[in-house]
């Protein structure tokens, strides 16, 4: 079970490819374990000659759970944020960016191509702004700047995320609730197979079920606020990928990011929601590989000196 000490935590990671190859760091989204990266996604990057690293963010999966920090009221946090009031949280997204940098340190990697999905895209943006030397290229997928003026998901969907599934009804009920939420945000052009999705959810629950950690991650997003002031500091070549039919992070977030990150490239994908459909992965990874190859001149060596 590969784990490293990073930023005072134990982070579980998995890697594929040659450790001497150029590294690609994949950062997952809210409450999502590294297992949710489709094998056809990270496999395509590995097959293209990259060393691909996936990991469980803090408070999720097999990485350190921070239950000693407690969990303030999520509904109160959402209400305060809606009216532009400050929100307190046990930790913030910049802390999670330091986790990712610490993982690179522990693996002896000076810099990596960084790909983040949803909350992972937010973390990746912060890495690129505050730890610029560690990010060779940035790919932000179905993410946003966090500006309050951007289109928001429906109140019903927001409330579903705040409530989150619970285990009171037993394992099958928990799986049913989780599948229902995932289907609400899935890609209408690439609808998931119910049986496959249910098996994925069951496998993830068996691996690690930690809803309180998901709540703290959500608080980190809410309390961290807008990243707009940081985005102008990003110098890494940046690719923005977003689904035209994303119900959780509406597509209006994509041109906003594109405008704020100088020189960024934007691709909006028809039929894509807030997930990584297997049938769409070749398109996604094709864009990412083109971005890396075109944006990053050849470098030699990846070890920290």
pLDDT per residue as tens digits for the range 9-48 = 999 999 999 999 999 999 999 999 999 999 999 999 999 9
Strands (E), 28-181: 51-55, 112-117, 135-141
Q: How confident is the model at residue 169 (pLDDT cuts 50, 70, 90)?
A: low
Q: Does the pLDDT value for residue 303 go beyond 80?
A: no
Lowest mean pLDDT among 106-110, 112-116, 167-171: 167-171
Which residues neighbour 173 within 8 Å (Cβ) at sequence distance 6 or greater?
167
Contact, 299 vs 136, CB < 8 A?
yes
Please tell me the predicted confidence (pLDDT) of residue 293. 95
Residue 158 resides in a domain: yes
CA pair distance 116, 24, nearest whole angstrom:
11
Residue 304 maps to a domain: no
Residues spanned by the domain of 248: 3-295
Q: What is the pLDDT of residue 107?
A: 98
d(CA 123, CA 117): 9
pLDDT digits (tens, 9 = 90+) for 270-299: 999 999 999 999 999 999 999 999 986 644
- For residue 240, give the CATH number of its domain: 3.40.50.1820
CB within 8 Å of 154: residues ≥ 6 apart = 247
pLDDT, average across residues 93-117: 98
Considering its fold, how many domains does the chain have in total? 1
Whether residue 132 lies inside any domain: the answer is yes
Instruction: Tell me whether residue 139 is in a domain.
Output: yes
Burial class for 21, CB neighbours closer than 10 Å (0-12, 13-18, 19+): middle
178-223 pLDDT, tens digit each: 999 999 999 999 999 999 999 999 999 999 999 999 999 999 999 9
Can you give the pLDDT at residue 164?
66
- pLDDT band at 160, cuts 50/70/90? confident
> For residue 181, is it within any domain?
yes
* pLDDT higher than threshold 90 for residue 249: yes
Flag whether 301 is in a domain.
no
Residue 305 has pLDDT above 70, yes or no: no
């Amino acid at each position: 079970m590969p784990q490293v000490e990073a930023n005072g935590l134990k982070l579980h990671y998995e890697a594929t490819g040659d450790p001497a190859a150029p590294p690609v760091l994949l950062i997952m989204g809210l409450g999502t374990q590294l297992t949710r990266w489709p094998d056809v996604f990270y496999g395509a990057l590995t097959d293209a000659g990259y060393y691909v690293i996936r990991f469980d963010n803090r408070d999720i999966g097999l990485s350190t759970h921070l239950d000693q920090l407690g969990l303030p009221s999520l509904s109160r946090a959402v209400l305060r944020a809606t009216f532009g009031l400050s929100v307190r949280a046990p930790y913030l997204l910049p802390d999670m960016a330091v986790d990712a940098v610490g993982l690179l340190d522990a693996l002896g990697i000076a810099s990596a191509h960084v790909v983040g999905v949803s909350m992972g895209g937010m973390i990746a943006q912060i890495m690129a702004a505050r730890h610029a030397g560690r990010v060779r290229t940035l790919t932000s997928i179905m993410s946003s700047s966090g500006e309050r003026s951007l289109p928001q998901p429906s109140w019903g969907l927001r409330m579903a995320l705040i409530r989150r599934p619970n285990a009171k009804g037993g394992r099958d009920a928990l799986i049913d609730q989780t599948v229902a939420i995932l289907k609400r945000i899935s890609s209408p052009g690439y609808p998931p197979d119910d049986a496959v999705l249910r098996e994925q959810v069951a496998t993830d629950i068996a691996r690690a079920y930690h809803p309180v950690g998901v709540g703290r991650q959500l608080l980190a997003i809410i309390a961290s606020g807008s990243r707009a002031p940081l985005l102008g500091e990003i110098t890494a070549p940046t690719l923005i990928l977003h689904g035209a039919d994303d119900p959780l992070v509406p597509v209006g977030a994509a041109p906003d990011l594109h405008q704020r990150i100088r020189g960024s490239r934007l691709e909006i994908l028809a039929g894509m929601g807030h997930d990584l459909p297997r049938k769409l992965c070749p398109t996604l990874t094709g864009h990412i590989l083109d971005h890396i190859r075109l944006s990053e001149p050849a470098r030699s060596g990846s070890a920290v000196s």
